[in-house]
Amino acid sequence: MTADIITFNAGSSSVRFAVFGTAPDAKPWRVMSGRAPLRDGSYLLEVADDTGLPIDLGQHEYLSIDALVAGIFDLVEEGLGNINIVATGHRVIHGGQRHTAPSLIAGDVLAGLEQLSPIAPMDQARTLAPIHEIARRFPTLPQIACFDTVFHQSRPLVAKRFALPTSFEDAGIIRYCFHGLSYESIAQNLAENAPEILAGRVVFAHLGSTASLCAMRDGLSIDTSMAFSALDGIPMATRPGALDPGVVLYLLEHMGMGVKDVQDLLYHRSGLLGVSGISEDVQVLLKSRQPPAAAAIELFCYRIAREIGALSASLGGLDALVFTAGIGENQPEIRRMICERCAWLGVRLNAAANAASDPSISSGASLVPVLVIPTDEELAIAGHTSAVLAAAS
């Protein structure tokens, strides 16, 4: 009988899960996967088999994350029959300074992760919620935390520091950076399929409802757009990205806003939604003829192109550009607008390849290969979970 792992990836707009079979000295293989987008306060579960084809489950709607997790276990057991679940693996957005590798959730680990919630108030609790429910339902089932911050441990110290008194650095106020599991999965893809590109200076653009960019050299993280929290960097669906701290001070001191008001503004009412006043969804904005929609898209692409330039400076040049995640993989118009602003770096697109979202979308005249690579955070989680279990046995 195989040893099976269920992975959970709880994000800001959905929960993704997957079932992987594992065996010694073998890469985990996907058996089933699913996604539950959060719509109008409910999770709507969609499940696919190992080929990616949808499985007709009828209507499955869950009002809470706890009910969703319970439903996923029930569906997995009903759908796969001879399943042998030996562990669950979880994407956890923040590992702080304590966790520099994936960790078995035991002892005071979960309590320590809860203490990091103030740094990522809208994200850490979401990624920990499935862990709490599984511990309640299956208290003896091993659970492994896989951290978005671990991949960025390779950055030089200068890329981790703020220009603050060192006492704040000692207290843990540093640039942690996020989306590490996504970047790790893409780096692994390149290591297997295009190692010559991974060996160079590459900027990766993870563009989804939350978004960031990462500069890698020789497959290692050198610098990123995100920093202490998942608010920094480029604009996102409802988050502003980089913001002058003076704006926050002004909001607090002169516009009558409290801390909770500012938090709500920065996490829920800014970004594409805030600028457009229409939607946080790029597809909706691209179809709209309203000037604010176009303004939001223009700012989004402008800031991304600006960040690509900054990260190219961190790398000392640019040898390749990679797009990934929901927007990066599926929105040719966004890629076109970004790449046109990066022409000074030698970027040129093949219009037909870009329109088709081909794996390679750069033209023969481009000095920089431009690629579209699907991210697979669940596979990265499964690999780490299997490795932690093997090391513990």
Mean pLDDT by 10 residues, the chain (393 residues): 84 86 87 85 78 64 84 81 88 90 92 88 87 93 95 95 95 93 96 96 96 97 95 96 97 96 96 98 97 98 98 98 97 98 98 98 97 96 93 83
Strand-pair category, 320-324 with 201-207: parallel
Dihedrals φ, ψ of 327, to 5°? -75, -45
Per-residue confidence (pLDDT) for residue 59, from 0 to 100: 59
- pTM for this entry: 0.93
* Cα–Cα–Cα angle for 161, 212, 270, rounded to 5 degrees: 100
* Cα→Cα distances 297→279, 300, 337, Å: 11, 5, 9
Fold that domain 193-372 belongs to in CATH? Nucleotidyltransferase; domain 5 (3.30.420)
Per-residue confidence (pLDDT) for residue 11, from 0 to 100: 80
Q: Residue 364's CB: how many other CB atoms inside 10 A?
A: 6
3 state SS of 64? coil
Q: How many Cα atoms sit within 13 Å of 375 on the Cβ side?
A: 26
Cα end-to-end span (Å), the chain: 17
CATH superfamily, domain at 3-147: ATPase, nucleotide binding domain (3.30.420.40)
222 closest CA partner among 102, 311, 116: 311
Q: Where are the domains of the chain?
A: 3-147, 193-372
The answer to whether the beta carbons of residues 363 and 348 sit under 8 Å apart is: yes
Task: Give the span between the Cα atoms of 379 and 361, in whole angstroms.
Answer: 25
43 closest CA partner among 14, 11, 4: 14
Per-residue confidence (pLDDT) for residue 120, from 0 to 100: 84
DSSP-derived secondary structure letter, 344 = G
Task: Give the span between the Cα atoms of 68 and 44, in whole angstroms.
Answer: 9
The answer to whether the beta carbons of residues 232 and 226 sit under 8 Å apart is: yes
Task: Give the span between the Cα atoms of 245 and 266, in whole angstroms.
Answer: 12
Q: Which residues of 275-292 are buried (b: 16+ CB within 10 A; e: fewer)?
A: bbeebbbbeebeebeeee
Q: Which of 4, 123, 148, 232 is catalytic?
A: 148
Per-residue confidence (pLDDT) for residue 341, from 0 to 100: 98
| Dihedral over alpha carbons 125, 129, 130, 134 (to 10 degrees) | 140
Known catalytic residue at 148: yes
Q: Both tokens of residue 277?
A: 């006043």
Task: Give the span between the Cα atoms of 36 and 44, in whole angstroms.
Answer: 5
Domains 3-147 and 193-372 share a fold: yes
Task: Give the span between the Cα atoms of 201 and 218, in whole angstroms.
Answer: 7
